[in-house]
Chains A and B, each alone.
Chain A
Amino acid sequence: MVEGIFRQCFHDHYEGLHRYAYTIVKDDQQAKDIVQTAFMKLWENRNQVDIARSGRSYLFTSVYHLGLNNMRDGKTRQRHNENFDRNEVDFQYDPAEQKEMRTRIHEAINSLPPRCKEVFCKSRLEGKKYAEIATEMEISAKTVEVQMGKALRMLKEMLADIITALIIAAYLV
C-alpha cells in the first residue's frame, strides 16, 4: 500500500524537486543526486511519515538542507563558477539568433539602475548569497530581495519583444 503511494509521490514531485535543487547547487548531476537522496530518506521513514499528506513538504525540506550542505562544501563553490564558464562556452555553439538574444540580455542588464545592477550581478554572476551581498553593500537582506525583484521586472519589460522568441527557444530545447 505504502509502496504505491511512495511511487506516486516520486512521479508527482520529482521534477519540481529537481528544479528546486538545481537553483541551490546549480549543477544538474548534483541536483539529481540530492533528489535521489531525499527520496531515499523518505523511503526509510515511510512508516513514520504520512506520505500522501506531508510527503512533499518533507521532500522539499530535505532538498533544502541537502542543498545547503552541498554548497558549504568547497568543491561545489568551484563547480559553481565552472557552470558560469560553461555558459559562456555555450555561446560559440549557438546560432546567430541566440547570439543576438544574448547580446540584448547583456545590454539590458547593463542598463539597469546602478544599485539594482550591482545586486543582480553579485547574485547572478558572482554567485553570492543574499546575506553576503547585504553585508558587502551594507544594506538589509530584504533590500537585496527587493532589488533583485526589481531587476527581474525591468529585464522582463526591456526584453518583452524577444521574450516570446525566448520562450519558443526554451520549449524547443
Chain B
Amino acid sequence: MTTDSNFQIDTNLLGKYFAGEATAEEAIAVEDWRAKPQNKKEFEQIKKIWLNGNSGYPEVLVTEEWLKFEKLLATKGKIIRWPYKRFIIAASMLAIVISVVVLKKKSGDVPEKTDGNFITKTASPLLTPEILSDGSQVIAGPGSSINFSKDDYKKNREVHLNGEAYFVVVASPDKPFVIHMEDLKIKVIGTSFNVKDNSGQQLIEVEVLSGTVEMYTDANRLVVKKGQTGTYSKQNASFYLSDTIDMNSLSYATKNFYFNDLTLEQIMSYLEKGFGVKIETDNKQLMHCRLTAKFENKPLPYIMDVIVATLNIEYTIQGSKILIKGTGCN
C-alpha cells in the first residue's frame, strides 16, 4: 500500500487517521491513496470496522455546502459574481418537469390574450401542452396561467406563473429557465418538475421528476433534485426539502396514476384533479374502500371500469359528473 507521496499507507497510518491523530500531510496522503478505486474499497472496509458496524455520518452534499458558504460570504456584505458554467451539477436531462402549483382563489378562467408580444397562456380544457419557441412545453393546471413576453423569452427564458403548471424545459445551460412567482424564483437548467402554490397555506411546492432545480429568493435558496419536493414558506421565508413526490398530483399532466393502497376518497380527489371532473357518491361508507392500482395513460372510463370491478361497485356518468353507487366493497 504505497503512494507517490512520502508516506507509506499501511494500517498504522490508517489507524492514526481514523483515530483522529493524523497530521495534515498524513491526511492528504490518505486522500490521495483513497482516490484510487481499489484503495477506496479498503478504506471503506477499515472505516466500517472502526465505526463498529455503524454508518457514520450522512452523505455530504457539496452543492448544499457551497450554497451555505455563499450565504456566509453574503452575510459579510459581499456579493460575488461566480463564474457559473463549469460548476453547476450537470442536469443533462432534456426535459424538466416542474410541477409548480399555486392555488389561488379561483377567479374564473382568463381567456388567452395576445397583444403580439405579451402572451398569456391559460389552462386549456383538454390540458394539452403549449409548446414554447425553444421547444419547452408547459401544461397549465386548472384555473392557472403563464405570462411571458415572446421577444424576451428568446433572450432569457423567464415566465410568470399564476397557479399550477407542469413544465418540460429543454436544457440550455447558457439560458436558464426562470419562473417568477412573486418574490420566489425557480431556476431550471434542464429538467421535469411541477410547481404548486398552496396559497391557502402560504406554501409553494416544487416537485422535481428529473434533473435539478434551484429555488431562490433574495435571502435564501434551496436546490431540489430528482425525486424531491422543495417547499417555500412565504410566512417564514424559508425552505424545506422532502425526499418524496406526490406523483398523483401531477397526473393532470403526466396522465399516470399510482394508487398504493389509497382510499377511494383519496383516489376520487386525484381523479377529479387529473381529469377535471367531479366525482360523487351517495354512500359515504364507500369512501373508506381501499385500492392498489397503476394506470398509465389510460382514459377515465377505463380507470373507472377497473375501480368498480375491483371494489364491486357501480358508476354512471352525467356530463362532467361521475356518480358512484354501491353497498360496500370487497
Q: How large, as a class, is the contact surface on chain A?
A: 35 or more
* Cα separation A16 to B51 with both chains bound (whole Å): 18
Residues in B whose Cβ lies below 8 Å from that of A166: 45, 48-49, 53
Check B49 against A4 for contact (C-beta < 8 Å): no
Residues in A whose Cβ lies below 8 Å from that of B115: none
Residues in B whose Cβ lies below 8 Å from that of A3: 80-83
Write the chain A residue with the least CB distance to B62.
Answer: A14
**CB of A49 within 8 Å of the partner chain:** no
Residues in A whose Cβ lies below 8 Å from that of B118: none
Check A56 against B54 for contact (C-beta < 8 Å): no
* Cα separation A158 to B249 with both chains bound (whole Å): 52
Check A23 against B68 for contact (C-beta < 8 Å): no
Residues in B whose Cβ lies below 8 Å from that of A31: 57
**CB of A51 within 8 Å of the partner chain:** no
Q: How large, as a class, is the contact surface on chain B?
A: 35 or more
B window 228-242: CB within 8 A of A? none
**Distance to closest chain A CB from B64 (angstroms):** 10
Most chain A CB neighbours (cut-off 10 Å) among B20, B48, B57: B20
B window 47-93: CB within 8 A of A? 47-60, 62, 65-66, 68-69, 72-73, 80-83, 86-87
Residues in B whose Cβ lies below 8 Å from that of A60: 24-25, 27-28
Check B46 against A11 for contact (C-beta < 8 Å): no
Determine which of A129, A145, A148, A167 lies in contact with B48 in the assembled complex, contact meaning CB atoms within 8 Å. Answer: A167
* Cα separation A56 to B5 with both chains bound (whole Å): 15
Determine which of A40, A67, A150 lies in contact with B72 in the assembled complex, contact meaning CB atoms within 8 Å. Answer: A40
* Cα separation A133 to B29 with both chains bound (whole Å): 25
Check A170 against B55 for contact (C-beta < 8 Å): yes
**Distance to closest chain B CB from A145 (angstroms):** 5
**CB of A163 within 8 Å of the partner chain:** yes
Determine which of A7, A32, A61, A156 lies in contact with B46 in the assembled complex, contact meaning CB atoms within 8 Å. Answer: A156
Write the chain B residue with the least CB distance to A98.
Answer: B53
Residues in B whose Cβ lies below 8 Å from that of A8: 86-87
Interface residues of A, Cβ cutoff 8 Å to B: 3-4, 7-8, 10-11, 14-16, 18-20, 22-26, 28, 31-32, 35-36, 39-40, 43, 56-57, 60-61, 63-64, 67, 87, 90, 98, 101-102, 105-106, 123-124, 129-130, 145-146, 148-153, 155-156, 159, 163, 166-167, 169-171, 173
- Sorted nearest first, the 7 A-B pairs with minimum C-beta distance are A149-B12, A148-B15, A28-B57, A60-B24, A149-B11, A173-B55, A24-B20
What are 28 residue pairs bridging A and B, where the CB atoms are less than 8 Å apart in the complex? A3-B81, A4-B82, A7-B83, A16-B31, A22-B57, A23-B18, A23-B22, A32-B60, A32-B65, A35-B65, A57-B24, A57-B28, A87-B52, A102-B53, A105-B52, A106-B52, A129-B20, A130-B16, A130-B19, A148-B11, A148-B16, A149-B11, A149-B15, A152-B14, A152-B49, A163-B45, A167-B45, A173-B55
